[in-house]
Amino acid sequence: MTISLSKNAMFVLEKRYLKKDSNGNVVETPEELFARVAKSIAAADKIFDSKGNVNKTEKTFMQILTNLWFIPNSPTLMNAGRRLGQLAACFVLPVEDSIESIFETLKHTAMIHKSGGGTGFSFSRIRPEKDVVLSTAGISSGPISFMNVFDVATETVKQGGTRRGANMGVLRVDHPDIEAFIESKNDLGRLNNFNISVALTKTFMDSLEKDSDYDFVNPRTGQVVKRISARNIFDMIVSSAWQTGEPGIIFIDRINENNPTPLLGEIEATNPCGEQPLLPYESCTLGSINLSNMVTRNTVNKKRLKRTVHSAVHFLDNVIEINKYPLSRIEEISKGTRKIGLGVMGFADMLIKMGIPYDSDEAVSQAEDIMAFISQESKSASAALAERRGNFPYYKGSVFDNPATPYMRNATTTTIAPTGSISIIAGVSSGIEPVFAVAYTRRVLDGKLLSEMHPIFIKKARDEGFYSNELAEETARTGSVQHIDAVPDHIKKLFRTSHDISPVWHIKMQAAFQKYTDNAVSKTVNFSADATINDVEKVYSLAYKSGCKGVTIYRYGSRSGQAMSIDDKKGVSVKVVPRPRPGRTYGITEKISTGCGKLYVTINSDQQGLCEVFAQMGKTGGCASSQIEAAGRMISLALRSGVKIDAIVRQLIGIRCPSPSWQDGKMVLSCPDAIAQVLKKLTNSDFVERETMMCACPECGGVLSHEEGCLICRSCGFTKCS
C-alpha cells in the first residue's frame, strides 16, 4: 500500500520520524512507519484479552493511520515499536518549597526531556524573593531565580535530542512575585526554553470587575502580605503580552471546576502549550482526527467520523498501557487516571471544502456541532472499553462516580492540542487555526526557493479560471489573497488567513471548541502589528466571559527586539534593545571585488531574520581590517535592534574611497559600499522579504508561524514547543 503524501510531509517524516541507520540514512518508508506504530499499539490488546483479535485491531489502526484520518502525537510516531518506547508528549511535575524538592524535580525534568517530552510546572509554592529561609537564616531568591536554573538545564539537555525540551512556567496571580514574573520575558534573551502563564483566580477576576484590590499571599505562611489593585496587575499582563506575546493566561479556578478527579488534588499547571491541565506526575496521551478527510460531497461524513473516534480512543488507551514512562511515579498516576486527549486538525480545510468562511456564525456553529459529536462518541467509546477492561483506577470519587456513568475508562477524552508536525504529515491546516498562509516561499536544503500554495486554493483557482504563475508569486509575498484583484470575492472569504481574521473571531472559535472539550484548547489569537493594548485587553475579557480556560496571543512583529515601556500619561516610549545573538545562525558568504582586494561578506540569520554581518579582506590587516570589523559590528547591532535593512543600505551605499573597482559591470566604491551592495542584493530577494517580515526557521529557512501557542515551521516541522 502506498500513502499519498506531499513533498513537505516526506521532508518532515525523513527528517524527524523515519528510522535511520548509524550513518543517518533513512531505512524506513512511511508505510513501514505506520505499520510499526499500528502493530506496536495493537499489541496492548493482549494485556486485556488473551483471546482478543490483535490482528483485527492492527488492521483497524493501520486503516486510520494510512488514510490520514487520525495521527497520534509525535512521540508515539517516533518511538512506538522502538527501543526508547516513550510515547507521551507532555508531563507536569510538582515544585515544592524546598531545595531538595526543586532539584529532585530538576533531575526528573532532565529525564523527561531526554525521553522527548515537555514539562509544565507551577512555581507558586516557592516562597517569594527576600523571604526568610529558616534553615540558614538567609533570604530566598524567589521562584524566578529557580526558573532560570530550569531554563539553563533544559538548554543543556536539548543539545543532543531529536525533540527539544520545552517548559511551561505558571505562577498564581496572588503570589507576591507576580509582577516580576509578568515581565520576566520582556527581555527576549531570558527564559527562552519557557512559555509562561499567569494563573488567574476567580477572586482576582471578581476584583478586576469591581475595580478593587486583592491579596498577595505568602505561600510559605499563608498570610496576606499586601493588597494591590487588580486593575494594575491586569494592565501589566496585557501590556507585556502586547509587547512580546507573553505571559499567557489560564483561568485556574475554571480549570479546577472541571477537574475530573478532585480527590487527587488541585490542578496547578499545564503542559508547554497550555491545552492540557494536569495533576503532578500526570502525562498526556494525545492524537488528532483529520477533519478535512471527514468531508465527503461537501458535508461531514458522521459515520466515518464516529468510526474514527472509536478507533482513536481504543488506540490512545492502548498507548497508556504500553508506554515506557520515564518515572515510576508518572506511570502510577497516568495509569490511575488514564487521561487521553483526542483532538482535531484540518478544521479550516474542512470549512473551505464545505464553502464556509472561518470568520462566520456558520463556522462557529459547525465547530460546536463537530466537537459535541466527538465528545459524545469519545465518551461512548471510553465507556465501552471500561465494560471490557475496567474503569480507570481513580474512578471512585471522580466526577463519573454515579449511576448515570457506571463505566468510564478514561478520566478525560478530549483535548485540542497543537498539531504542528502531524498536520504537515497529513497535509492539512493546524488544529483549529485558520489557514496560516495561502502561499509562501521556502528555502530547501540546496538553497533553492520553492513556492508552496494551498492545494484546495490551486484547485479552485484552476476550476474558476483565475490561476496563473503570477498569482502564485504575488500570493507568496504576503501569504494572503485579500489584496489581489484577480481573486473573486467569494474565494477571498474562504481563504482568509490567521492575520486576515479579527481577534474576536479567533476567540469565538476557541470558545466554541472549548464548550465540548474536557481539557483545554491550544490556539493563538493573532493581532496585527498596529493592534493596541486595549485590543488585547478586550480579547482577554471576552475569553473569560466566553468560557475559555486560557488565552495565548501574538501581535505581529512584537518580538522584534524592542523593549517598550508604557506610560498612561505620555503614551508609548520605545527603548531599542538589540536581541541577543543565538548560539547558532545560518547564512551565506559572498565574495566581492573592492579597490583594496577581495572582500568576503558573510550575512547570517536567526529565527527573526537577518542578525549579523561579518566582512574580511583577504590578508590585509591594520586600519583597513579594523574599520571593516567595526562596520560589521555596527551593522549587526542595527539588525538585531530591528533597524530596517533599507535604512542600513541607504547609509552605506555610495560611500567612496580613493580606490574604487568594478564587479559584474557595477562600480564598487568602497568596502562599506560593497557590504551595502551585498545587503541590497539580498533585500530584493524573496529570502530576505519573507524571513525578515515573517520570521525564519533556524533549521530550514522556512516561514515560522505563531500557531497553537507556539512557533511552528510548516516546511520542516521545527517547533519551539517540544
pLDDT band for position 473 (50/70/90)?
confident
Q: What is the pTM of this model?
A: 0.82
* Full DSSP string of 308-329: HHHHHHHHHHHHHHH---SSHH
Alpha carbon of residue 294 to chain centroid: 25
Q: Residue 76 and residue 323: Cα distance in Å, rounded?
A: 9
Picking from 175, 168, 170, 173, the residue whose alpha carbon sits closest to that of residue 127 is 175
pLDDT, position 355: 97
Percent of the chain residues past pLDDT 90, beyond the cut: 65
* Residue 220 scores a pLDDT above 60: yes
Residues 409-419 have a mean pLDDT of: 96
Query: Is 208:202 a contact under the CB 8 Å cutoff?
Result: no
Contact residues for 252 (Cβ-Cβ < 8 A; gap 6+)? 172, 199, 200, 201, 267, 268
Residues 373-391 have a mean pLDDT of: 98
Residue corresponding to grid cell 586600519: 623
Query: Is 414:309 a contact under the CB 8 Å cutoff?
Result: no
Residues 449-460 have a mean pLDDT of: 84
pLDDT, position 687: 36
**pLDDT tens digits along 155-166:** 888 645 555 668
Beta-sheet pairing, 269-270 with 277-278 = antiparallel
**Long-range CB contacts for residues 303-309, cutoff 8 Å, separation at least 24:** 304/69, 305/370, 305/373, 305/374, 305/377, 306/373, 306/377, 308/64, 308/69, 308/70, 309/342, 309/374, 309/377, 309/378, 309/381
pLDDT, position 701: 61
Residue of 140 and 253 predicted with greater confidence: 253
pLDDT band for position 287 (50/70/90)?
very high
Tell me which CATH code domain 90-270 carries.
Answer: 3.20.70.20
* Residue 273 scores a pLDDT above 80: yes
Residues 546-554 have a mean pLDDT of: 96
Strand-pairing partners, residue 209, are: none
pLDDT, position 621: 59
Residues 474-480 have a mean pLDDT of: 86
pLDDT, position 561: 42
Most confident by average pLDDT, 284-293, 448-457, 626-635, 663-672: 284-293
Contact residues for 436 (Cβ-Cβ < 8 A; gap 6+)? 429, 430, 479, 497, 498, 705, 707, 714
Residues 549-557 have a mean pLDDT of: 91
Q: What is the mean pLDDT of the chain?
A: 88
Q: Residue 389 and residue 385: Cα distance in Å, rounded?
A: 6
Percent of the chain residues past pLDDT 70, beyond the cut: 90
Active site residues: 271, 273, 275
Q: How many residues does the chain have?
A: 722
Query: Is 568:235 a contact under the CB 8 Å cutoff?
Result: no
Residue of 337 and 444 predicted with greater confidence: 337
Contact residues for 155 (Cβ-Cβ < 8 A; gap 6+)? 192, 193
Most confident by average pLDDT, 250-259, 434-443, 479-488: 250-259
pLDDT, position 662: 74
* Residue 692 scores a pLDDT above 70: no
Q: Residue 506 and residue 250: Cα distance in Å, rounded?
A: 17
* Residue 508 scores a pLDDT above 80: yes
Asked if the peptide bond before residue 176 counts as cis, ω within 30 degrees of 0, the response is: no
pLDDT, position 633: 86
Query: Is 323:380 a contact under the CB 8 Å cutoff?
Result: no
- Domain locations along the chain: 90-270, 437-495, 586-694
Residues 251-266 have a mean pLDDT of: 97
Give the three-state DSSP class for 566.
strand
**pLDDT tens digits along 515-529:** 999 999 999 999 988
Q: Residue 9 and residue 18: Cα distance in Å, rounded?
A: 12
What b/e string do you get for 305-314 counting C-beta neighbours within 10 Å, with b at 16 or more? bbbbbbbbbb
pLDDT band for position 568 (50/70/90)?
very low
What b/e string do you get for 340-355 counting C-beta neighbours within 10 Å, with b at 16 or more? bbbbbbbbbbbbbbee
* Residue 514 scores a pLDDT above 90: yes
Contact residues for 20 (Cβ-Cβ < 8 A; gap 6+)? 26, 27
pLDDT, position 586: 76
Give the three-state DSSP class for 107.
helix
pLDDT band for position 696 (50/70/90)?
low
- DSSP code for 390: -
pLDDT band for position 389 (50/70/90)?
very high
In whole angstroms, how far apart are CA 291 and each of 357, 364, 508, 513, 645?
16, 15, 19, 14, 42
Backbone angles phi, psi at 696, to 5 degrees: -110, 145
pLDDT, position 564: 33
Single-letter code of the amino acid located at 288:
S
Picking from 254, 284, 267, 269, the residue whose alpha carbon sits closest to that of residue 122 is 269
pLDDT, position 645: 80
Query: Is 503:527 a contact under the CB 8 Å cutoff?
Result: yes
pLDDT, position 640: 83
* Full DSSP string of 620-667: --HHHHHHHHHHHHHHHHHHHTT--HHHHHHHHTT---S--EEETTEE
Backbone angles phi, psi at 501, to 5 degrees: -100, 135
